[in-house]
Amino acid sequence: MMTNLLRLLTFIILLGSMGAPGMAQPKQEVWYHTGYPGGVGGPGSGMSALTGPTKMPAIFEAILRNRLVEPGQIHTDSLSVTGRASFAPPIDLESLRAVHTDRYLKALFTGEPRSLAMSQGLPTWNEKIAEGWLLNVGGLYAASETALYKRTITANLGHGYHHAAVNRGMGFCTINGLVVAAKKLIRQEKAKRVMIIDLDHHEGNGTAESILGEPRIWNVSIYGSYMGGPLSAENNHVFHVRHDALERGRKRDAHYLAIVSDVLPRLIRLQDPDLILYQAGMDPFDGAGISRNALAIRDAYVFSLCLSLDKPVTWVLAGGYADLNTLVELHTDTVRMANEVLRSVPPGSRIVHQRASAYEWVSRERVITFPSWKLLVEGKLEVHIPERMSGWAVQEFMSERERVLREERLPDDEIQSVYRRLFVGKSSP
Ligand SMILES: [Zn+2]
């Protein structure tokens, strides 16, 4: 039934796009390296679907099997893709040191101390896993650079970023690739401002801690589960959705989508970023009882909004603890929606909201029609916005972060040699 609904959605969109002037936009490009970790065993469901070897390769294989992305748009080392594009090198050390402490990075590169190397909660450490983290963040950076350059939607089929803080991992997140990529693009003057939109069910606490007081990077986290990050601030926008206030089903879906569509347009306009990094978390499905259809239209909305405001987007996988088949369906919906939006939403389109079924959207002659989710809720939005930190409190937070970075600093030679040792006998970096 789900598939039928998606087909219907696709049909509606195609119908709509027939009338649109044929401005072909660059197609979606994806990055994936078979070395992304993974690779640590375990059954293919529940929490293990995230830590085990199964989730990322399964999504990648589903993209190939269903021909969702053309081979020439797939940046991978995988020999199963004939005509593939070149894959990304591992992320450079300088970009990692701009976000994480040397002591933490050394633990990730060497596995010692083991408790710090495994602070994200993975069951083991080895060099291959360590290398995989760097390939993963390298892929994310390459995807974001391409999105900016080609003004399109790109994806990195990796995960494990937003809980990683300055000097430790957490919640299966090891390196905060979102912040690493954003800071690198800014340092290279490829972007002036970057927005991180985080729609994982869990609050992006590591991201918030890493960017607080850095006005060029904004974090927007709409979550159902608080993870201990800092309060709101000028560049940290956090919204705790009270999902339980509404019964599961159409009402709860519409409520969630009403909040997303209430928050995002004004913040994107306010910051006016050059690029959006979108954490397309799928754990609202199992964590908050949001339906597959709602998550698909959420992603269609986010992509349409970004394109209508002329913002390129790079999206990544995140959260999702259902069985593997469900996870693959949820995540490949994001791939499909990015394709649909690129196909049917020409530049200069605008979004209108009209009373309609919660899950229908149409794009016709530069007008993208989404449902009036707020009207469907027929009540107030159940969302808690934490109070704002004072300027003084932000300063305190920043100096504490600086102190940790300083105190955990190692001599350049020492950190460079452990980084290079990971790649001894290999072609890069
Ligand atoms: Zn999550």
Residue 40 above 70 pLDDT? no
> What's the 129 CA to ligand 1 centre distance in angstroms?
21
Concatenated DSSP letters for 97-148?
HTTS-HHHHHHHHH--SHHHHTTT--S---HHHHHHHHHHHHHHHHHHHHHH
Residue 8 above 90 pLDDT? no
Concatenated DSSP letters for 237-303?
EEEEE-GGGS-TTHHHHHHHHHHHHHHHHHHHHHH--SEEEEEEE-HHHHHH---HHHHHHHHHHHH
Task: Between 92 and 124, name the one with better pLDDT.
Answer: 92
**Helices in 28-68 by DSSP H: which ranges?**
48-51, 55-65
Give the integer Cα–Cα distance in Å for 45 and 266.
38
Query: 113: cis peptide before it, omega within 30°?
Result: yes
Q: Which domains does the chain have, with CATH numbers?
A: 2-16+28-40+52-421 (3.40.800.20)
Q: Which two tokens stand for residue 10?
A: 């696709």
**Residue 173, SS3 per DSSP:** strand
Question: Are the beta carbons of 415 and 106 closer than 8 angstroms?
Answer: yes
Q: How high is the pLDDT of residue 347?
A: 85
> What's the 156 CA to ligand 1 centre distance in angstroms?
17
> What's the 104 CA to ligand 1 centre distance in angstroms?
22
Cα four-point dihedral sign 363, 366, 368, 369: negative
Give the integer Cα–Cα distance in Å for 224 and 243.
7
Please state the rounded mean pLDDT for residues 253-266.
Answer: 98
> What's the 233 CA to ligand 1 centre distance in angstroms?
22
Question: Are the beta carbons of 140 and 156 closer than 8 angstroms?
Answer: yes
Q: What angle do CA 168, 171, 173 make, to 5 degrees?
A: 60
Residue 265 above 80 pLDDT? yes
Give the integer Cα–Cα distance in Å for 66 and 151.
25
Give the integer Cα–Cα distance in Å for 177 and 153.
18
Question: Are the beta carbons of 152 and 26 closer than 8 angstroms?
Answer: yes
Q: How high is the pLDDT of residue 17?
A: 43
- Residue 71 makes CB contacts below 8 A (sequence gap 6+) with 81, 82, 83, 84
> What's the 200 CA to ligand 1 centre distance in angstroms?
5
C-beta pairs of 378-384 under 8 Å, 24+ apart in sequence: 381/255, 381/258, 381/259, 381/262, 382/241, 382/242, 382/243, 382/245, 382/246, 382/255, 383/239, 383/240, 383/241, 383/242, 383/259, 384/239, 384/240, 384/242
Residue 1 above 70 pLDDT? no
Residue 11 above 50 pLDDT? no
- Rg, Å, the chain Cα set: 21
Mean of all residue pLDDT scores within the chain: 91
Q: What angle do CA 401, 207, 212 make, to 5 degrees?
A: 50
Q: DSSP letter at 91?
A: P
DSSP H or E segment with residue 354: strand 350-354
* pTM of the complete model: 0.93
> What's the 229 CA to ligand 1 centre distance in angstroms?
14
Question: Are the beta carbons of 239 and 319 closer than 8 angstroms?
Answer: no
> What's the 281 CA to ligand 1 centre distance in angstroms?
7
Please state the rounded mean pLDDT for residues 134-156.
Answer: 97
Q: How high is the pLDDT of residue 427?
A: 55
Instruction: Read off the pLDDT of residues 404-428 as tens digits, 9 standing for 90 and up.
Output: 999 999 999 999 999 999 987 665 5
Instruction: Read off the pLDDT of residues 161-174 as tens digits, 9 standing for 90 and up.
Output: 999 999 999 998 99
> What's the 284 CA to ligand 1 centre distance in angstroms?
8
Residue 21 above 50 pLDDT? no
> What's the 197 CA to ligand 1 centre distance in angstroms?
13
> What's the 20 CA to ligand 1 centre distance in angstroms?
37
**Percent of the chain beyond pLDDT 90?**
80
Q: How high is the pLDDT of residue 319?
A: 85
Question: Are the beta carbons of 17 and 134 closer than 8 angstroms?
Answer: no
> What's the 403 CA to ligand 1 centre distance in angstroms?
29
Q: At what angle do helices 177-187 and 127-150 cross, to 10 degrees?
A: 50
> What's the 348 CA to ligand 1 centre distance in angstroms?
33
Side-chain-side CA neighbours of 265 within 13 Å: the count stands at 14
> What's the 198 CA to ligand 1 centre distance in angstroms?
10
Question: Are the beta carbons of 213 and 235 closer than 8 angstroms?
Answer: yes
Instruction: Read off the pLDDT of residues 350-393 as tens digits, 9 standing for 90 and up.
Output: 999 998 899 999 999 999 999 999 999 988 999 999 999 999 99
> What's the 223 CA to ligand 1 centre distance in angstroms?
9
Give the integer Cα–Cα distance in Å for 196 and 198.
6
Q: How high is the pLDDT of residue 19?
A: 41
> What's the 384 CA to ligand 1 centre distance in angstroms?
18
Smallest Cα–Cα separation from 360: which of 416, 300, 279, 317? 300
